[in-house]
Amino acid sequence: MKKIIFTALAAVIGLAFPAAAEWPDKPIKVVVPFKAGGTSDQTARIYQKAIKDGEILGQPITIINVGGHFSIGSRQVMEADADGYTFLLVHIALMGGEGSGAMDFGWRDFEPVAATGEFCVLPMVRKDSGINTIEELLDKAKAEPDSLIFGANLGAINHMAGIMMEQASPGSKFRFVQIGGGTANFTALTGAQTNTTVLSGAEVVKFTLLPDGSPNPDAEIKALAYTGANRLPALPDLPTMKEAGYDMEFCIKSWWFAPKGTPQEAIDGFAAALGKAIESDGVKKFNSERYFTPVFMSGDELQNDLDVTWTAIEPVAKLAKKK
């Protein structure tokens, strides 16, 4: 009789207090605060596919692109419910936006989840610009200060890269205008709305090379240098900034964040999923073809790297405030 009573009581308690569902038990959203087609969007979608194909999470991931200034999509995630089902994929722009004053919040208003991969950027001009080297570009920016329109997402990667180019060539000055991310800047540059910008290695491969890796004769833009420590394999004849005589390297990690207060189970679970995905054939191929260094960080290692990066980039971002 006691056994029957205890069994019935347990059943009643179970109905009143159902067992907590294990994360994830519903679809996940990843916000990319840039238009579709750029580096961050490409990155989000290859991880989305790898997680789906590998059945890593058991729940679908939806990518949401938010165009305009990157602060818009970032704020949406910052203000989202911290229930473990909304994440942000961004990069050093989150620090640049804060340091430059372009937005009133920053990376410390989120929960760090993971860093996946690192890419470097390339200064670009139109083929018909008459500029053929990075030296010619910076000399022109020095001889005619504020005359060259530099397409940027104010406070983001391209803006900070332009400022670092100015610092590497004292006296050079660009006129920075708000355009957006990689895809928007490609359109503005080819449309002659701007004179120069920077694009990532992935974007340069997409916009200037054919599928077999050969130069696209119809490409309207060209790269002048590479900001990595070594030459970009896709463009072996292109010098690095240091080889061209400028003390500049600028490479950026992809960062995944969650709203402040997100359950640790979700943070750890999504980080683990990204860690498994980076080992997939699809992500490895993506990293190789787009010249990403396959970095992966989470936990204390990630937090330390964020702190170090902020120390290095804050002074550059403050200069962006004046531009």
pLDDT at 18 over 70: no
**CA 61 – CA 27 distance, rounded (Å):** 6
**CA 96 – CA 255 distance, rounded (Å):** 14
Using a 10 angstrom Cβ sphere, with 0-12 exposed, 13-18 middle and 19 or more buried, the burial of residue 123 is buried
What Cα–Cα distance (Å) separates residue 223 from each residue in 6, 73, 123, 164, 236?
A: 75, 29, 6, 17, 12
pLDDT at 323: 58
Residue 39 or residue 171, greater confidence: 171
pLDDT at 322: 61
Q: Does domain 27-118+252-320 have CATH number 3.40.190.150?
A: yes
Residue 13: band (very low, low, confident or very high) from pLDDT cuts 50, 70, 90: very low
pLDDT at 320 over 90: no
Q: Calculate mean pLDDT across residues 61-88.
A: 95
- 3 state DSSP class of 67: coil
The angle subtended at Cα 183 by Cα 215 and Cα 153, nearest 5°, is: 125
pLDDT of 191-234, one tens digit each? Answer: 999 999 999 888 898 899 998 889 999 999 999 999 999 999 88
Domain topology for 120-223:
D-Maltodextrin-Binding Protein; domain 2 (3.40.190)
Q: Is residue 56 within 8 Å of residue 276, measured between CB atoms?
A: yes
**CA neighbor of 70 nearest in space, from 35, 118, 41:** 35
**CA 175 – CA 147 distance, rounded (Å):** 6
pLDDT at 278 over 80: yes
pLDDT at 276: 97
pLDDT at 12 over 80: no
pLDDT at 19 over 60: no
**CA neighbor of 64 nearest in space, from 47, 86, 81:** 86
What Cα–Cα distance (Å) separates residue 184 from each residue in 21, 35, 46, 147?
A: 42, 8, 21, 21
pLDDT of 158-181, one tens digit each? Answer: 999 999 999 999 999 999 999 988
pLDDT of 97-139, one tens digit each? Answer: 898 888 899 999 999 999 999 989 999 999 999 999 999 999 9
List 252's β-bridge partners, or say none: 119
Q: Where are the domains of the chain?
A: 27-118+252-320, 120-223
Residue 281: band (very low, low, confident or very high) from pLDDT cuts 50, 70, 90: very high
pLDDT at 17 over 80: no
pLDDT at 58 over 70: yes
**CA 253 – CA 74 distance, rounded (Å):** 17
Q: Calculate mean pLDDT across residues 39-51.
A: 95
pLDDT at 6: 43
pLDDT at 8: 47
**Does 120-223 match 27-118+252-320 at the fold level?**
yes
Q: Calculate mean pLDDT across residues 297-308.
A: 96
Q: What integer best gives the mean pLDDT of the chain? A: 91
**CA 155 – CA 280 distance, rounded (Å):** 33
The 10 Å CB-count burial string (b at 16+, else e) for 66-76 is: bbebbbebbbb
Could you tell me the two tokens for 70?
Answer: 């990157």
Q: Calculate mean pLDDT across residues 294-317.
A: 93
CB neighbourhood size of 205 (10 A): 19
